[in-house]
Amino acid sequence: MCYQDLSKIVLFVLIIFSFFTTGKSQDTIASRRNIFYLEPEYSIGKIVPNRSRFPGAGYSSCYSLNLGVFYNSPLNGWASFYNYPFSGVTLSMTDLGNEKIFGKQFTVMPFIEFNTANRLENSIYLKIGLGCSYFTKHFDGLENRKNKEIGSSCTWSFQSFMYYSLFVSQNLSINIGGGYLHSSNGHIQLPNYGLNQAALSVSTRFFTSCINPAFQPKNSRVTVNRDMTFYLMARSGLGIHEYGSANGPVGGPKRLVNSLTVSSGVLLREYIKLDAGFTARYYHHYYHQILNTANTDYSDEPRLNASNLYFFLGVEFLVGHIGMDIEGGLNLFKPYYREHYLTMEGDTDFDYWLKQLFNTKLGLDYYLINPKKTPKLNGFLGASINANFGQADFSEVCAGMLYYFR
């Protein structure tokens, strides 16, 4: 599909939306409700190199369509707690500036956008998104050896943007923004340096119902339960990755990473979870490497030396049934990582020290029951990308259970 065809489709959709954006603006508790919107967005940017011998690329251009909801209703407790945010999904197509090597990127990304002020107009918004992308070009040992940023067609994608609302009326708002985008397959397929982009954008939101430009979120807060609810959590995860570094080796087998987590924490003010606990992991790749190399430093206890134990602190931001989970961990036991790093990365240095000591996790969870209701038991499913400090380690899916002390 060419850009001209895309622009015609966007124009047609906007015309259809214009039939719905009529009416009078009201701002009473009874009349306010969640409002849908459609937002075409154009951004221009540049790939930020993260290695030497980067093949180079021109300016990137991205055409996006944000399908979202302005959570304008005080009857929605989490919307009031988060200062009445915008949330939805972004559909985008990006020309990365080097068609031969990087091709195009197609992205589907759920997002949430927080208002940092007590007004709609002349306000700054923070937008965070986590989704997936499809690349038309990725590393190929025969035909595309220069693309070491993207090792597979499908990747995780993360977005962090700041927006400024230039103009807000009853039916639309005009915004400018800038930020950072990152894509990585989570070490599932190598090479995997990841693709980083910096970009500037302009967008226009078209609302399906009239909004009140003078709406002030702080003046419309609803009462939030300030009690703390304690809980216990157990989680089992199944990850997958290739053995190696960001640069390779290429085409190796993919093996599993099993994990088991136990933690305790507190549900704070209904919409934020804070927890601390321990996770035990078992790396199948480490076990096979120990057996294949017959390294006497590890072969006496291959299963134990292929394991990992760490302590972590986590925070999770809850939006209805969905939670964005962020964890930072401190490795207590991970013996084979030193051998892994020496073999694949080189001599030990400060970078090794950071990766050997710290790990991080970013993911999304879906709860069977809204956590706000604090049922005695609640189950959840999740997906995450796990890293050694800032370097991707593996991608994971998980299932878990929460027990609340009500």
Total H helices, total E strands in the chain? 6, 16
> Who has greater pLDDT, 343 or 73?
343
The verdict on 288 and 148 lying in the same domain is: no
Among residues 189, 220, 251, which one ends one of the domains? 220
Q: Would you say 7 and 14 are in contact if contact means Cβ atoms under 8 Å apart?
A: no
Statement to judge: residues 264 and 379 lie in one domain:
yes
- Are 244 and 334 contained in the same domain? yes
Which of 184, 203, 220 finishes a domain? Answer: 220
Question: What is the rounded CA–CA span in Å between residue 79 and residue 225?
Answer: 14
Contact in structure between 226 and 83 (CB atoms under 8 Å)? no
Give the pLDDT score at 399. 98
Position 232 pLDDT exceeds 70? yes
Q: How far apart are CA 318 and CA 30, in angstroms?
A: 25
Residue found by looking up tokens 């093996």 in the block: 255
CB 310 within 8 A of CB 294: no
> CB atoms < 10 A from the CB of 162, how many?
14
Residue 9 has pLDDT above 80, yes or no: no
What CATH number corresponds to the domain at position 373?
Answer: 2.40.160
pLDDT at residue 11 in the model: 45
pLDDT of 28 strictly over 60: no
Q: Is the CB of residue 228 less than 8 Å from the CB of residue 183?
A: no
Please give the biggest Cα pair distance in the chain: 78
d(CA 93, CA 96): 10
Cα dihedral value 329, 335, 336, 339, nearest 10: 110
- 300 shares a domain with 262: yes
According to DSSP, the β-strands at 60-70 and 228-242 are unpaired
Domain residue limits at 320: 228-405
- Whether residues 15 and 139 share a domain: the answer is yes
> In the predicted model, is pLDDT for residue 210 greater than 80?
yes
Tokens of 144: 């595309």
Alpha-carbon distance of 109 to 317, in angstroms, equals 17
Please report the pLDDT score of residue 26 as a whole number. 46
Q: Is the pLDDT of residue 33 over 90?
A: no
DSSP notation for 91-118: EEEEE-S-TTTT-EEEEEEEEEEEE-SS
pLDDT at site 224: 66
Q: Which of 30-39, 286-295, 321-330 has the lowest mean pLDDT?
A: 30-39
Q: Write the CA distances from 168 to 66, 90, 205, 210, 214, integer angstroms.
A: 17, 21, 9, 11, 9
The amino acid occupying position 142 is: L
- List the CATH number of the domain containing 53: 2.40.160.20
Arithmetic mean of pLDDT, 326-333? 98
Is the same domain home to 129 and 174? yes
| Partners of residue 42 on adjacent β-strands | 63, 202
Whether residues 118 and 258 share a domain: the answer is: no
Residues 166 and 249 in one domain: no
Residue 196 has pLDDT above 90, yes or no: yes
Of 70-79, 186-195, 206-215, the range with the lowest mean pLDDT is: 70-79
Q: Determine the pLDDT at residue 7.
A: 46
* Predicted pLDDT at 217: 81
For residues 49 and 85, membership in a common domain is answered with yes
- By CB atoms closer than 10 A (0-12, 13-18, 19+), residue 47 is buried
